[in-house]
Structure 1
Amino acid sequence: MSKLIKPGTDNQQPGKYHEVGPRGGSVPKPKHATIDAGDRLPPTTKKGNKWTK
Structure 2
Amino acid sequence: MTILYVLLVLGLAVAGGLAFLVLEQVRWDRRNRRLLCTTCGNYHARHADHR
Structure-1-length-normalised TM-score? 0.23
- Which fold has the larger relative contact order, with Cα–Cα distance below 8 Å and residues 6 or more apart in sequence? 1
- If each structure's strand is expressed as a fraction of its own residues, which one has the higher value? 1
Q: Which has the larger radius of gyration?
A: 2
Structure number with the higher helix fraction is: 2
